[in-house]
Amino acid sequence: RARNKLREGEEAYKDALRNAKKMLGPLPEYVKDDYLQWREEFLEQHQILAKGNELEELRKELETSDFLNQWMTEEDIDKSLDQHYHSQQEGKRKMVNIKVRIILDKLKEVLINTKELQNQTMKKQQENL
The verdict on residue 31 lying in a domain is: yes
How far is it, in rounded angstroms, from Cα 124 to Cα 47? 43
Residue 72: the pLDDT is 92
In order along its 129 residues, the chain shows pLDDT tens digits of 777 888 888 888 888 888 887 888 778 888 888 988 888 898 888 888 899 889 999 999 999 988 888 889 999 999 999 999 988 888 778 888 899 889 888 888 888 888 898 889 889 888 887
- Closest of 67, 55, 53 to residue 102, by C-alpha: 67
Cα–Cα distances in angstroms (integers) from residue 47 to residues 42, 86, 112, in the given order: 8, 22, 27
- Residue 23: how many other CB atoms lie within 10 Å: 15
Residue 2: the pLDDT is 74
Residue 1: the pLDDT is 77
Residue 25: the pLDDT is 79
The verdict on residue 129 lying in a domain is: no
Residue 76: the pLDDT is 93
The verdict on residue 25 lying in a domain is: yes
Give the number of domains in the chain.
Answer: 1
- Residue 124: how many other CB atoms lie within 10 Å: 9
Cα-Cα-Cα-Cα torsion 79, 54, 68, 28, nearest 10 degrees, comes to -120
Residue 58: the pLDDT is 93
Residue 75: the pLDDT is 94
- Is residue 58 within 8 Å of 50, Cβ to Cβ? yes
The verdict on residue 39 lying in a domain is: yes
Residue 73: the pLDDT is 93
Domain of residue 106, residue span: 2-124
Residue 78: the pLDDT is 93
The verdict on residue 94 lying in a domain is: yes
The verdict on residue 102 lying in a domain is: yes
- Is residue 88 within 8 Å of 98, Cβ to Cβ? yes
